[in-house]
Amino acid sequence: MYNMKKTATHLLPIVAVAFMLASCGNGKAGNDTDADTSTTTTSTTDASPTAVKPSSFDINNIPVSGKELGNLPFFSLPEGLVLQNRKAVERKFDRLFFPIDGIMTPIEGRVWKSRLTPESKKYSDWSLPYFEKSYDEAITAVGGVKIFDGKVSQEELDRIKDQATYFGEDGSIDYWNVPVKVYVIRRADGGDIYIQLSGNTAGGSLQILQKEAFKQTITLLKSNEIKKQLDEKGKAVLHINFDTDKASLKPEGTEAVKEITKVLQSDNNLKIAINGYTDNTGNADHNQQLSEARAETVKKEIIAVGIDAGRLTSKGFGQENPIADNGTEEGKAQNRRVELVKL
């Protein structure tokens, strides 16, 4: 399946494409959040990574495409087809799942996805073969390779359901009822492009992701800024790095706790509540326990350097009270936080 189809090297203009899940047979819609494909990806969420069977797919076996592609979404819409909701879902960074060797594999990067419908708005004008063939030829013409074509097992869908947090939004794939085709265009700079599409008798859906590394935008709050926020707002919000799905601090997390300690050492009358929060990935009860354990860890680290325990309280709130959209990876990163509240 990895052999490249030799077709005309004619590149379609830049586009976006989509899929209308008009009749989701079992009432479940396709959701997507993605990450990496050729190698195992490290999770950045609070949920524990689930063990997966190994995939035989190796991106190094795919020929590199040097075709000029322009910007995401790279291709124009086939003639006679339009975006169902006029505007596609576009995100600078997100995670989508692609079935590779039948294994739902998370890949991260820039995302474009939408649903596609006939311009006439008449379902009778929809042709699934036209939709599929248009993209198959356009993708393979620029060096793309089909790496999967088939149904995803219910077992696989059940395995990733808690991680794929927004199946059902515009451009989602109906993995439960219809086959999906997955393509990859390998790029020399590592910005590989993954494309998946699927459809039924009423419309089609297209998802395009270009791999891109996550860029951290959260910076460490220094003690003077923490004190300023406590004085002015009565609380300070910190993003303290813990090991994935654990309450143990990463080195950067330890540095953040040291800054909190400096504030307490500078004001012997200051008392604070340490409140832990997670994003909404995974089980709510588990997230509650995790947030409590993380808040307690921060408290213990502060006490260990000589701060009186009577000046501190700790509590976990799990995924409650989000401060950002849990539908995006950036939002989830904001929601994984520790809040210091002045008592």
Per-residue pLDDT of the chain (343 residues), as tens digits, is: 444 333 333 333 333 333 333 333 344 443 333 333 333 333 334 444 445 566 789 999 999 999 999 999 999 999 999 999 889 999 999 999 999 999 999 999 999 999 999 999 898 999 999 999 999 999 999 999 999 999 999 999 999 988 877 788 889 999 999 999 999 999 999 999 999 999 999 999 999 999 998 777 767 789 999 999 999 999 999 999 898 889 999 998 999 999 999 999 999 999 999 999 999 988 999 999 999 999 999 999 999 999 999 999 999 999 999 999 887 778 888 999 999 999 9
200 & 253 share domain: no
74 & 193 share domain: yes
Phi, psi of 306 (to 5 degrees): 110, 5
HSE, side-chain direction, 13 A CA sphere, residue 130: 14
The answer to whether position 47 is within a domain reads no
80 & 197 share domain: yes
The answer to whether position 7 is within a domain reads no
205 & 67 share domain: yes
67 & 190 share domain: yes
The answer to whether position 52 is within a domain reads no
In this predicted structure, what is the pLDDT of residue 5? 36
Domain count, the chain: 2
In this predicted structure, what is the pLDDT of residue 117? 95
Pairing of β 180-185 and β 193-199: antiparallel
Determine if the peptide bond prior to 78 is cis (ω within 30°).
no
201 & 274 share domain: no
Pairing of β 204-211 and β 103-118: antiparallel
- Identify the domain boundary among 177, 211, 245: 211
283 & 333 share domain: yes
In this predicted structure, what is the pLDDT of residue 230? 95
CATH number for the domain that contains residue 265: 3.30.1330.60
In this predicted structure, what is the pLDDT of residue 282? 85
In this predicted structure, what is the pLDDT of residue 101? 92
Which domain range does residue 282 map to? 223-342
The answer to whether position 205 is within a domain reads yes
In this predicted structure, what is the pLDDT of residue 49? 44
154 & 271 share domain: no
